[in-house]
Structure 1
Amino acid sequence: MSEKVVVIYSGGMDSFTVLHRALREGKAPYALTFDYGQRHKKEIDYAARVCESLNVPHKVVDISAINQLIGGSALTSDIEVPAGHYEEPSMKQTVVPNRNMILLSMAVGYAVSLEAEKVYYGAHSGDHAIYPDCRPEFVQRMNDVCGIANYTPVEIVTPYLKDSKTAILTDGLNMGLDYSQTWTCYNGREKACGSCGACQERLEAFRDNQANDPLEYES
């Protein structure tokens, strides 16, 4: 039997690539999507459609109640999503306090219940400047904790931790993946805005790969 793994699957291009990489490695992924009150809930619909098409077990968990405790992010509060690249200081407004620690903790609990020993998530080097919970030292410490938090240790696996968004897309395109099945924009409107950090990084990755982004943009 294939090894069970939990994949934190947002519906974005990074986790989409991670999910397919786990499948290519012969794993049996259990996809886990969180509704944490993000304004771009559209990504959840994309995640659901992909999992259905792949026949991958998929859970969507509503944890939006946590916004009673953590706020101040443009992704969850009534704050305008800043335009600009991830490297600009304004993008710190998109940080959701402690998000990945919360999500990973629940994913590890799910893995223990499934008797799975690994949790995959799509942190990458492009996130390091703005998101502390995507940095190598965070992943290392989480692995230390998850090795002792339960009777059975669970490993946090980050296949692209040292790679750029461009490199992730390169890997996905080499796998023949269709990125029209992903949603990246932080604004959950009908079309991607093209101006937020998430859109700019995505478009940059497609340009670097000399490929066309299949999503429609407002401008």
Structure 2
Amino acid sequence: MKQESKIIVLVSGGMDSATLLWLAKEKFSKVYAISFDYGQKHKIELDFAKQLTEEAGVEKHFIVDVPHLKGIEGSALTDEKIEVPSEEYPEGPPITTVPMRNLNFLAIAASFADVYEIENIGIGIHSVDSPYPDCRAEFASSAEAAINASSVMVAKKKNRITVWTPFLGMTKAEVLKTGLRLGVPYEKTYSCYRGTIPPCGECATCRQREEAFKEAGIEDPTKKLEGR
């Protein structure tokens, strides 16, 4: 049943955020989207984010520049001196971790939520992302507490802002199956940390995507488009 409330969804252009966006369309009366340019090597994902938000028909799509993350060294996603490895996700935080990325993203999204009086912020974190410290349940609940403690809207209206994380505890294949039910156009999503066309097929996020489609028993539609 659709809630008569608004949500702003973090949309990267990948599978998870696209699925979250379509689920938000099903669950909320008004849907906004926000994407970030933080110096990621796969900045091409923003082109896919634009396509997805246009097709979804969101109220507004904000694209925010986060310049300070571009200058942080040590992450393979932003540091040109470090190659994105060909690997599965390790048990601990991977070299592709961008320090405090999701905390920054949620804080910025909360600023827009305050201005537009949006009661919910959606982020598509799930169980396979758990090697990243900012993709865990304790992070989401802590971020929600901080957002509510600092929100002007909450102080005035005496309501709460919810950090909506419906995929926590789900695998990527389960997220994919949810998206298939919702009719998510996965051919318009992008998953590759190296930012290549076609995707490299070797980095952790490429492998994660391939495994999800394999487990779901269907072919990734982007392979047809790329002639692979």
> What TM-score do the two structures reach when normalised by structure 1?
0.93
Match of 1:124 among 126, 130, 149: 126
Separation of aligned partners in 2, 1:46 and 1:184:
10
Residue 83 of structure 1 is matched in structure 2 by 86
Match of 1:14 among 13, 16, 38: 16
Residue 200 of structure 1 is matched in structure 2 by 207
Separation of aligned partners in 2, 1:178 and 1:185:
17
Separation of aligned partners in 2, 1:136 and 1:87:
19
**Contact map agreement 1:71 1:97 (CA 8 A) in 2:** no
Please state how far the C-alpha of 1:214 moved relative to its aligned partner: 1.3
Match of 2:117 among 97, 115, 118: 115
Please state how far the C-alpha of 1:88 moved relative to its aligned partner: 5.7
Which residues in structure 2 correspond to 1:1-219 (within 5 Å)? 2-56=4-58, 57-68=60-71, 70-78=72-80, 79-87=82-90, 92-128=94-130, 130-151=131-152, 152=154, 153-216=160-223
Cα shift readout 1:41-83 (whole Å, capped 9, x = no counterpart): 1110001012122321211111134323x22111111111011
**Contact map agreement 1:191 1:218 (CA 8 A) in 2:** no
Separation of aligned partners in 1, 2:201 and 2:176:
17
Separation of aligned partners in 2, 1:21 and 1:175:
7
Amino acid at match of 2:138: E
Separation of aligned partners in 1, 2:91 and 2:151:
39
Please state how far the C-alpha of 1:86 moved relative to its aligned partner: 1.4
- Tell me whether 196-205 or 207-216 shows the greater mean CA deviation: 207-216
Please state how far the C-alpha of 1:218 moved relative to its aligned partner: 9.5
> What TM-score do the two structures reach when normalised by structure 2?
0.89
Separation of aligned partners in 2, 1:138 and 1:3:
24
**Contact map agreement 1:193 1:218 (CA 8 A) in 2:** no
Please state how far the C-alpha of 1:147 moved relative to its aligned partner: 2.1
**Contact map agreement 1:194 1:218 (CA 8 A) in 2:** no
Amino acid at match of 1:60: I
Give the match's secondary structure for 1:28.
strand
Q: Can you give the 5+ residue segments of structure 2 that lack an aligned partner in the other structure?
A: 155-159
Moved runs in structure 1, 4+ residues, more than 3 A? 216-219
Separation of aligned partners in 2, 1:38 and 1:10:
11
Amino acid at match of 2:84: V
Separation of aligned partners in 2, 1:55 and 1:2:
17
Q: Report how many residues are paired.
A: 216
